[in-house]
Amino acid sequence: MSPLEIRTTGYGHPDAAGLAAEVQQEYVRRYGDIDQTSMHEDHFDPPYGLFVVGYLDGEAVACGGWRAKEADRDGLRDGDAELKRMYVAERARGRGLARAVLRHLEATALAAGRTRLVLETGTEQPEAIALYGSEGYLPITKFGYYKDSPQSVCMGKPLV
């Protein structure tokens, strides 16, 4: 098997849309509904965002992106970037692909001048929580659409 090829596609790319649809179905299985967070293609347009798809042997199997955030009443700060739609297709899991995509997104956010990466995941995604924790993400004040949900877990990591 060839190594993961990470391509900047944008959120509107057909491969990105296909994987985003898969992750929404994962949320339905785990939480009973899709993620209701507001998402638009232009949130991921450089330099204020980025969306990538990871390919193995030409097949789209992983994705993720970040979008710029600024200070708000929920504790977000100027210079933050929010991680969104991190996903690895079930058929490709267990190979370190999520970690590779995450590290790529961290590097690109830092290069774009972002100072911290923040994310919201949930209690029904223990593998995501474990991945982020192993990469140095720590709990932060809850933010966003699900900030009042007991299932919401928000984490952040300074970019250096």
Domains and CATH numbers, the chain: 5-158 (3.40.630.30)
Decide if 75 contacts 114 (C-beta within 8 A): no
Say what angle helices 126-134 and 97-111 make with each other, to 10 degrees.
Answer: 50
| pLDDT over threshold 90, residue 116 | yes
Average pLDDT over every residue of 64-81: 95
What average pLDDT is seen over the chain?
96
User: What pLDDT score was predicted for residue 160?
Assistant: 86
Task: Tell me the pLDDT tens digit for each residue of 2-42.
Answer: 799 999 999 999 999 999 999 999 999 999 999 999 999 99
pTM (2 d.p.):
0.95
DSSP-H helix ranges across the chain: 14-31, 97-111, 126-134
What are the C-alpha distances in Å from 67 to residues 30, 95, 158? 25, 26, 15
User: What pLDDT score was predicted for residue 1?
Assistant: 59
- Asked whether the bond before 47 is cis by omega within 30 degrees of 0, the reply is yes
Decide if 4 contacts 55 (C-beta within 8 A): yes
Decide if 114 contacts 81 (C-beta within 8 A): yes
| pLDDT over threshold 70, residue 74 | yes
What is the Cα–Cα distance from 120 to 110, expressed in whole angstroms?
19
Most distant pair of Cα atoms in the chain: their distance: 46
